[in-house]
């Protein structure tokens, strides 16, 4: 009741104060909305935890409730102005994910990660494209086209909707402190998958621009540009990670502030050099963890984990506010069909891949549940798609965002269930928690 009363008081205070700001797009009004959203989302997260749900479910739901689709305290103008905050959150999440990756673990689980990843992405791509092809008569932006362009657009749609969510994975691993095989294998898959998805999406976007006449006027991304976005991310990220490792070795002060500075400058460097931000920061975190000594890497990780909670609150609250419930209400049958087909492909691909690789039984049975969630990366790719081929990309983006909305809510809950069923949440809460971390660090 105390948390519900807190939400009610926050809402009442905003109702009194917001008329003074007149819902304009000024900086003070946006900061006021931002502060309210953070407090409301944090309180909703505590309520979700009481209901045995992931806290990020509460953050997301708070964004939906107070966003433009329902109550409307968080306005579209405020969401647009808070985009830099969202980008900073994505960068910090990506760096934290990279720090969690250890070379020793990747070598030990490499076969399982690559086998599961290859099968589940292939099956997801084929299954999603196929379901869109079969339902093309019910999709306005496909029904009037010839079979060739329809096939290309179905493949382009699939290249976006097969993506996973490192943000959801990291948020739940940070919240539960799970360290078992399901948690670590899932983390490896979602991070490596991003590289593959960016490559596939870039290739399909080039094919679409070249093969569909109405989109042919847009510039085609060259192989050199695509190669630089991927390889350049690795180079820039490695250099950034090396610089961070030097700081950790010779300075190692004000780590909480330093972690935020890393994310900010890393995102800016990626933007200036025209490389992929997420991959750059993941690489930087990976290099930092594996070049630094075990104690140095752990110190930075603990500092970042202290800053992680407010970052996750911001990221998922803004993601919830961006969900358009009116669009979802119209497209939910088609979106649900895509969600169901994708989930089936994830189950078949990851389970079969884990069995072929000889992964632990818990990974074979439960890891696929950690691959369902979608969030920031999928949103970003959908935005690129809409800008690149607007005639088809804009309506396609609407459907993609509906799919993301369903997977964002369901995926985090299912991953929490997977960690609980595999015994990793309980293990993380037990007295023996510190034991796995030193072994993993020494193995890297």
Quick one: which of 289, 295, 301 has its CA closest to 438? 295
- pLDDT (average), residues 98-119: 84
Most confident of 111-125, 364-378, 426-440: 111-125
Residues 204 and 165 in one domain: yes
Which domain-ending residue is among 81, 112, 141? 81
Residue 427's pLDDT band, with cuts at 50, 70 and 90, is very low
The residue segments making up the domain with residue 8 are 2-81
- Tracing tokens 């966003």 back to the chain, one arrives at 67
Q: In terms of domains, do 55 and 95 share one?
A: no
User: For residues 58 and 309, what is the distance between their CA atoms, to the nearest angstrom?
Assistant: 13
How many domains is the chain partitioned into structurally?
2
Q: How close are the terminal C-alpha atoms of the chain, in Å? A: 46
pLDDT digits (tens, 9 = 90+) for 254-312: 777 787 788 888 888 888 888 877 788 888 888 888 887 666 656 777 777 676 777 77
pLDDT for position 391: 78
Calculate the average pLDDT of the chain: 79
121 & 25 share domain = no
Among the listed ranges 22-26, 44-48, 77-81, which one has the minimum average pLDDT value?
Answer: 22-26
Same domain, 11 and 148: no
Per-residue exposure over 390-414, b if at least 16 CB sit within 10 Å of its own CB, e if not:
eebbebbbbbbbbbbbbbbbbbbbb
- 392: Cβ contacts below 8 Å, ≥ 6 apart: 141, 153, 212, 214, 215
Confidence of residue 19 (pLDDT cuts 50, 70, 90): low
- Buried residues in 302-333 as b, exposed as e (16+ CB within 10 A): ebbeebbbebbbbbbbbbbbbbbeebbeebbe
Taking the C-alpha atoms of residue 20 and residue 244, their distance in angstroms, rounded to an integer, is 45
Number of H helices, E strands in the chain: 21, 0
In this structure, are 98 and 58 located in the same domain? no
300, 254 in Cβ contact below 8 A?
no
| pLDDT exceeds 60 at position 439 | no
User: Is it the case that residue 226 has pLDDT exceeding 90?
Assistant: no
- Residues 184 and 116 placed together within one structural domain of the fold: yes
CA distances from 100 to 53, 93, 287, 304, 353 (A): 24, 11, 11, 11, 23
Is there a single domain that holds both residue 76 and residue 113?
A: no
The DSSP element (H or E) to which 35 belongs, if any, is helix 27-50
Whether residues 222 and 340 fall in one domain: yes
Give the model's pLDDT for residue 361.
92
Cβ–Cβ < 8 Å for 301, 255: no
Indicate the residue among 81, 105, 128 that finishes a domain: 81
- Is 18 a residue whose pLDDT tops 70? no
164-218 per-position pLDDT tens digit: 888 888 888 888 888 889 998 998 898 888 778 877 887 787 788 777 765 444 4
Cα angle, residue 157 at apex, residues 387 and 408 outer, rounded to 5°: 90
Cα 11 off chain centre by? 29
- Do 35 and 99 share a structural domain? no
**Whether the predicted pLDDT of 251 surpasses 90:** no
Among candidate residues 30, 61, 81, the one where a domain is terminated: 81
In a shared domain, residues 54 and 186: no
Residues 135 and 170 in one domain: yes
CA pair distance 351, 345, nearest whole angstrom: 10
Instruction: State whether 46 and 184 are in the same domain.
Output: no
d(CA 345, CA 349): 6
């Amino acid at each position: 009741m105390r948390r519900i009363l807190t939400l009610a008081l926050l809402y009442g205070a905003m109702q009194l104060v917001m008329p003074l700001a007149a819902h304009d797009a000024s900086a003070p009004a946006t900061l006021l909305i931002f502060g309210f959203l953070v407090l409301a989302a944090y309180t909703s997260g505590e309520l979700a935890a009481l209901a045995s749900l992931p806290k990020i479910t509460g953050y997301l739901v708070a964004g939906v409730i107070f966003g433009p689709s329902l109550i409307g305290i968080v306005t579209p103008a405020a969401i647009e102005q808070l985009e830099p905050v969202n980008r900073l959150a994505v960068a910090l999440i990506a760096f934290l994910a990279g720090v969690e990756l250890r070379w020793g673990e990747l070598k030990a689980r490499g076969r399982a990660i690559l086998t599961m990843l290859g099968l589940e992405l292939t099956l997801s791509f084929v299954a999603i494209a196929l379901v869109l092809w079969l339902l093309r008569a019910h999709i306005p932006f496909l029904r009037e086209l010839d079979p060739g362009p329809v096939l290309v657009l179905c493949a382009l749609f699939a290249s976006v909707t097969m993506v996973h969510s490192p943000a959801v994975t990291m948020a739940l691993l940070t919240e539960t402190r799970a360290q078992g095989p399901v948690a670590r294998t899932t983390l490896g898959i979602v991070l490596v998958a991003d590289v593959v998805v960016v490559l596939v999406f870039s290739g399909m976007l080039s094919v679409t621009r070249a093969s569909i006449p109405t989109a042919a006027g847009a510039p085609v991304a060259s192989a050199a540009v695509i190669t630089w976005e991927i390889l350049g991310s690795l180079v820039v990220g490695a250099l950034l990670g090396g610089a961070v490792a030097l700081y950790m070795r010779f300075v190692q002060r004000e780590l909480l502030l330093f972690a935020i500075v890393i994310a900010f400058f890393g995102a800016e460097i990626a933007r200036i050099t025209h490389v992929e931000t997420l991959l750059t920061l993941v690489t930087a975190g990976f290099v930092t963890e594996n070049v630094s000594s075990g104690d140095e890497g752990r110190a930075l990780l603990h500092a970042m984990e202290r800053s992680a909670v407010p970052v996750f609150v911001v990221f998922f609250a803004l993601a919830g506010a961006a969900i358009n419930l009116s669009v979802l209400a119209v497209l939910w049958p088609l979106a649900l069909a895509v969600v169901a087909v994708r989930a089936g492909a994830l189950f078949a691909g990851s389970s079969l891949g884990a069995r072929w690789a000889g992964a632990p039984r818990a990974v074979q049975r439960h890891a696929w549940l950690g691959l369902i969630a979608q969030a920031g990366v999928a949103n970003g790719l959908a935005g690129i798609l809409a800008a690149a081929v607007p005639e088809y990309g804009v309506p396609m983006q609407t459907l993609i965002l509906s799919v993301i909305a369903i997977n964002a809510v369901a995926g985090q809950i299912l991953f929490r269930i997977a960690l609980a069923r595999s015994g990793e949440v309980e293990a993380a809460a037990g007295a023996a928690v510190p034991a796995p971390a030193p072994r993993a660090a020494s193995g890297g």
